[in-house]
Structure 1
Amino acid sequence: MKTIFALTLKAAARDPYLLFWSILLPVGGTIGLGLLIGRPEYPLHIMTGMMAVSMLFYAFSTTSFAILGQRRRGVYNLLRVTPMPLWQYICGVSGAWTLVSLFCGLLVLGTGTIAFQLDIRLLSLLMLLPSGLLAALGYVLLSFFVSSFCRTESHASMVTNVAAMPLFFISDGFYALEKAPAWLQTASRFNPFQWFLNGLRSALALDAGPWLASLGLLVLLLAAALALAVRTFRFSDVSA
């Protein structure tokens, strides 16, 4: 399992999707929008939003392509004739993808902190870690679920975009929802992406109550994603 973990990390480092969607785009968006919007509180607001976007793009969208590719190449079928149990392989790749996703988020955080000279305390960073790990692992497991219904890369792209984009826009990741319609504010309370944002922002604010509530909701997301991933897992391609 350690070998699979290390190989997955090396493969992720060469992934062009990782470089653009989870690093360049969120970092550029953080700095660009932070400078464009003149309000003093906005840099911190957009930084946490882009941090969450960075992690979701990698842990959900990019890994969906990776899982689909492995399935179509017969990797999971080959595991049936090797000594390695399937669960060890999945734990290895999922753990590596989770850490890569967390690294992307912390890179956005570090860039935004330096660019806007934000005061981020050590305790806030420690509180960010469990929120990031729970969310990233939950998104990775959801990518197993989503990829089980996809036949091609274009199909996976469509499905992941349809699933992810509403999560972004029914949240306060980029703009405040105080003046939004009541139905939108209600919908945001049931948005897993909003749960993650709440965890990040309450950690940075050292607000323990909302942070613990967010952790509880992210644990529920993780449990639901695990159940869906196990229930729908496929060894072979859908078209096979």
Structure 2
Amino acid sequence: MRDMPTAKAALPPVPRVYQGVNWEGLKTLYFREIRRFIKVGTQTLAAPVVTALLYMLVFVVAVGGGREVHGVAYGTFVAPGLIMMQILSNAFANSSSSLLQAKFNGMMGDFMTPPLTPGELAIGFGAGAATRGILVGLVTLLAVMPFARLPMAQPWAVLYFGIGAALIMAFIGIMAGLWAEKFDHMAAVTNFVIMPMTFLSGTFYLVEKLPEPFRTASHFNPFFYLIDGFRFGFTGMADSSITIGVVMTAVLTLSLGWVCLWMFRTGYKIKT
């Protein structure tokens, strides 16, 4: 067997050319994100359920006292908001922590080197984080059902707002993970933006009961429409216009997805 010419042997391998979507790479990134939170299931799946049950205990048993909200039992009113809280917080936590840990561990090159386009990176991280949010939401739903009767008045709304909220927070998590330079930055986003917007969105009360100007201000909080639409899916009762909520969810999902695409495409705080 003859040896290859030296000049030819020294040439680097020709990069693989993908036509269309790199489905294999996208699937690998997606399942990588799934395995991340499955490995620590006690923290990512069990802990949120315990938190939701504690909220149910405090607000329904201790505070609710058998009262109703617009003819709906207080437990039934609160439960969808608690489920949505877990969807929002866990979808955000998955994508943001994945990218921030990659930065600190010097692993960002592992995401940039494979033949994945910016769009595929945004979809892979976003879909993985949204999956965690939806899965935690399902587990929380099963956990609170013995304590609150949850009819399914509008199943389409449950699916639409649940998936929409998971994608929105997954994309926000990507943006925060790429922007943050240390864990303090991430804690600031969580404590001063995500948590206040979640608690001030009508999770435990009717926004219409708030005095002005807080009532009007609440209608500029996108989390309010997500929780209200999600609750509408279970109870058929809404505190706002469902049409506005549907449009706002679609616009936010597409807009934030585009921002994530731009951040990956320009190498925002990745290429130094």
The verdict on a shared fold, with TM-score over 0.5 as the criterion, is yes
Matched to 2:179, the amino acid is F
Q: Tell me what 2:154 maps to.
A: 124
Q: Deviations over 1:30-79 (max 9, x none)?
A: 24422222124210122112112111111123431222112343444334
Determine which of 44, 50, 53 is the counterpart of 2:82.
50
CA-to-aligned-CA distance 1:185-211 (integer Å, 9 cap, x gap) = 111111111010111121113469944
Give the one of 185, 207, 210 matched to 1:155.
Answer: 185
Kindly indicate whether the alpha-carbon contact (under 8 Å) linking 2:80 and 2:234 is maintained by their aligned counterparts in 1. no
**Structure 1: stretches of 5+ with no match in the other structure:** none
Counterpart-to-counterpart distance in 1, 2:140 and 2:57: 10
What is aligned with 2:21?
none
- The residue correspondences of 1:26-175 to structure 2 (distance < 5 A) are 26-36=52-62, 37-38=64-65, 39-40=67-68, 41-116=73-148, 118-121=149-152, 124-175=154-205
Residues 77-98 of structure 1, C-alpha deviations (whole Å, 9 max, x = no match): 3344323334323322321211
Structure 1 residues 106, 124: closer, same or farther in 2, change over 3 A?
farther
Q: SS at the partner of 2:116?
A: coil
Give the C-alpha shift of residue 156 in structure 1. 0.9
1:20 to partner: Cα distance: 6.2
Q: Tell me the CA shift for residue 235 of structure 1.
A: 4.2
Contact 1:59 1:97 in 2 (8 A): yes
Quote the residue 2:246 is aligned against. Answer: 215
Q: How far is 1:237 from its partner?
A: 5.3
Gaps of 5+ in 2: 1-25
| TM-aligned CA deviation for residue 155 of structure 1 | 2.1
Q: Which has the higher helix share?
A: 1
Q: Distance in 1 between matches of 2:187 and 2:48?
A: 15
Aligned equivalents of 1:163, 1:104: Cα separation in 2: 21
Q: What is the root-mean-square deviation of aligned Cα atoms in Å? A: 2.7
Of the three residues 208, 225, 229, the one matched with 1:178 is 208
- Maintained 8 Å contact 1:71/1:236: no
Q: Is the 8 A contact 1:47 1:108 kept in 2?
A: no
- Name the larger-Rg structure: 2
1:65/1:153 contact within 8 Å kept: no
Percent of aligned positions that are identical: 20
Q: Count matched residues.
A: 238
Instruction: Work out the CA distance in 1 between the residues paired with 2:263 and 2:121.
Output: 17
Matched, 1:199 2:233: no
